[in-house]
Structure 1
Amino acid sequence: MYSLDVKASSGSYPIYIKNGLLGEIGSEVKKIYKGRKIAVVTDSNVNKFYGQKVINALNAEGFETFKIVVKAGEESKSFETLLQVYDKLLDFKINRGDIIIALGGGVVGDMAGFVASTFLRGIPLIQIPTTLLAQVDSSVGGKVAVDLPRGKNLVGSFYNPKAVFIDPLLLGTLSEKFVSDGMGEVIKYGVIKDSELFYKLMNYENSEAALKGIDEIIYTCCTIKADIVERDEHDTGERMLLNFGHTIGHAVEQFFNFTGYSHGESVGIGMYTITKIGEELGITKIGTANIIKNILIKYNLPWTLPEIKTEAIIEAISHDKKNIGDSMNFILIESIGNSFIGEIHEDKIVEYLQNNQK
């Protein structure tokens, strides 16, 4: 088992990474939670594979459980879904001494986490991420949120879980597309902070080969994120580096109404695009964008910017949470493993977008 502690100012919490950990979830939860009621929030896809298994494991330890199943997909990160989940928690008579378990990928983790942070002004939370993207990124760091029609994650809070339980074996039920989706975030960690991880990923033959050592890769990514979060819990400085590729990536997701490109695919496009812009501005070492392009291709991720109205991208970028005041901030890289927060004038973005559409 790999384990680490995230030492946040608002409260520390452990991350456990172990093959087969889901089978021990009842006893593991009992070690950190002495109450009785547990609400398990999951989605329709994850529920088919793991919902009842988790309920049975918790019941075996004497917990009183209640399962809330939401529709799978980004559309569940909405106020409509929040109201439905709040109602079901009221039906179950959940109080502030009880606990919520988020069992699922990034959508469930973000939405259920936001529920936990707001219902009765705060209910304890446990994260059990079931996708690679959630295991390496969204379940760690305490960011929880829902979307608005005009942008992703625009209503949210910082709310740390009591623990994160990661079972890499759960990735065995993911389609190749969702493995690639998670690899987009894994690659991001290598680009911004760890060239050794990046080139290790480059040297794997394919995703299947990478998955054989995925527990160590997950641990590496979580360690990078924990290290950054400990220094900048509320995303006002260094933590913004974790959003490399996300500014343009979120714009791509939003333009296609969260159905054309997955999060990892969109981040891949964003990583390549902003690196190419960095090269053109003399900020990034020439050839770096091509290196990123090659690793994206290896893991079946897109890299070319689809045809999008320039105004739509600029509008989405203007709502990005890294922008403070009138500045348009982007996460940029000097080279693989070396990232920083920089400012690019809107005109340069517009010029690049107009010259590089399909």
Structure 2
Amino acid sequence: MKGLNDLKNKKYIFTSKSINRIYNEKFSNPYVLEDGEIIKNFDNVKRIYSYLIENNVNRKDTIYGVGGGTVTDLIGFIGTTFKRGIKFEFYPTTLLAQVDAAIGGKNAIDYEGIKNIIGTFNIPDNVIIDPLTVISQKDENYREGIIEAFKVAIIDGNISLFLDNIEKLKKRNLGTIIDIIKYSVRVKLNIVSKDPFDDNLRRLLNLGHTLGHAFESFTGTSHGLSVGWGIKKEIELFGKNIDLKSKKLIIEFLENIIPEEILNKDVDMDKLKKYIVQDKKINSNNKIDIPIIEKIGKVDLKSFDSKDVVSLFT
């Protein structure tokens, strides 16, 4: 069975401080990065390029990203761009990365305070998921993964997997976690296979992300919790035609998972507008496609003028 033990004799392992602290006996001379979103910048890109050049890494070599979504985002970007592309593999260690960030082939760094504004589409050569790594996560980070997986279930329609197992999820029942991972990966990869470059269908996976990314950039709240905030806020702003039972079930689940101080955070919407108008999903016609929930299992893309979206905050 593949897992972190496979990395013992591998070279060119890139991981975070927290993961190295927990699993350092499984790595040989890793390149250790800071924890969190702060690593996704040009300074780290240049340092890693220099490291790869100094070690004579060529296109037959493989680099390994071991950690959460920030590590896989960064190393995927490096792997895609260094020498016009070298092999790279991911070992995601957080639930969020296992159900979302490490699969699907999106790689990116942040710039000028805007999340994932510079990036690539490129599928890793392998993604090895070890569910046991989830057990040691901090509670907030663990719940991020639940929210991203729940987002997929809203789109696909199978939220009973979450509603019926909410207490098992909270207690990190391993069997339930494995079921959630398998389900989320299957649904997401099915969508991605039909639209690998985010032209239409894949944009449904941006549910909660238009406002969620702006909230994340402005408040510094973690990604998954920001997406949960974004789903709730987008229902409030755009959900006039949403099925009331669906609305009730979604909001109740989010309120059960997301800390109240985040879900009901008072935000200066006027300042939030700055981040919305920089959203990378805005096209040349100044339009932005936002996934709108009609009911659980039925989410449609609606095209809005970005100015109209911003006007909702005035």
Instruction: Tell me which of 296, 303, 306 is aligned to 1:343.
Output: 303
Cα deviation code 1:40-74 (max 9, x no counterpart): 0111111111243143xxxxxxxxxx521111110
Letter in 2 for 1:242: L
1:311 is aligned, of 249, 264, 270, to 270
Q: Distance in 1 between matches of 2:166 and 2:265?
A: 27
Matched residue pairs, number? 310
Question: Aligned equivalents of 1:167 and 1:177: distance in 2?
Answer: 19
Q: In 1, distance between residues paired with 2:22 and 2:233?
A: 37
| Counterpart position of 1:96 | 59
> What do the CA deviations read for 1:3-31 (whole angstroms, capped 9, x no partner)?
xxxxxxxxxxxxxxx7x73234569xxxx
| Residue of structure 1 in register with 2:287 after alignment | 327
Which of 15, 22, 29 is matched with 2:4 structurally? 22
Alignment partner, residue 41 of structure 1? 14
Distance in 1 (CA, whole Å) between partners of 2:310 and 2:47 is 41
CA offsets 1:253-302 (integer angstroms, 9 cap, x no match): 1112x3xx11111000001111122333x3x2235333222111222345
Q: CA RMSD in A?
A: 2.1
**Using the alignment, how far apart are the partners of 1:345 and 1:123 within structure 2?**
39
Match of 2:234 in 1: 274
Contact 2:95 2:134 in 1 (8 A): yes
Q: Which residue of 1 aligns with 2:164?
A: 203
Find the partner of 2:247 among 289, 301, 321: 289
Q: Deviation of residue 166 (structure 1)?
A: 0.2
Which deviates more from structure 2 when the two are superposed, residues 309-318 or residues 330-339?
Answer: 309-318
How far apart are 1:320 and its partner, in Å? 2.0
- Name the aligned partner's letter for residue 163 of structure 1: N
1:174 is the counterpart of 2:125: no
Give the aligned residue type for 1:100: I
Write the distance in 2 (CA, Å) between the matches of 1:351 and 1:149: 23
Please tell me whether the aligned partners of residues 275 and 288 of structure 1 are also in contact (alpha carbons under 8 angstroms): no
Could you report, residue by residue, the CA deviation over 1:290-340 in whole angstroms, capped at 9, with x for unpaired residues?
A: 322211122234563533332332222222232212113211111112111
What secondary structure, in the 3-state scheme, does the structure 2 residue paired with 1:212 have?
A: helix
Partners in 2 of 1:49 and 1:172 — Cα distance? 12
Q: What is the TM-score with the length of structure 2 in the denominator?
A: 0.91
Distance 1:76 1:312 in 2: 25
Q: Is the 8 A contact 2:286 2:306 kept in 1?
A: no
Runs of 4+ off more than 6 Å: none
The alpha-carbon distance between structure 1 residues 243 and 156, as it changes in their structure 2 partners (threshold 3 A), is: same
Alpha-carbon contact 1:42-1:102 (below 8 Å) kept: yes
Q: Which amino acid aligns with 2:258?
A: N
CA–CA distance in structure 1, aligned partners of residues 61 and 89 of structure 2 = 11
Query: TM-score under structure 1 normalisation?
Result: 0.81
Task: Return the alpha-carbon distance in structure 1 between the equivalents of residues 224 and 174 of structure 2.
Answer: 17
* CA shift for structure 1 position 142: 0.8
- The one-letter amino acid paired with 1:166 is I
Cα shift readout 1:223-269 (whole Å, capped 9, x = no counterpart): 1111011110111111111111011011011112x3xx111110000
Q: 140-149 or 303-312: which moved more?
A: 303-312
Unaligned runs of 5+ in 2: none
Distance 1:43 1:68 in 2: 8
Mapped pair 1:126 → 2:89: yes
Give structure 1 stretches of 5+ with no counterpart. 1-17, 28-36, 56-65
CA distance in structure 1 between the aligned counterparts of 2:266 and 2:35, rounded to whole angstroms? 27
CA distance in 2, matches of 1:252, 1:341: 21
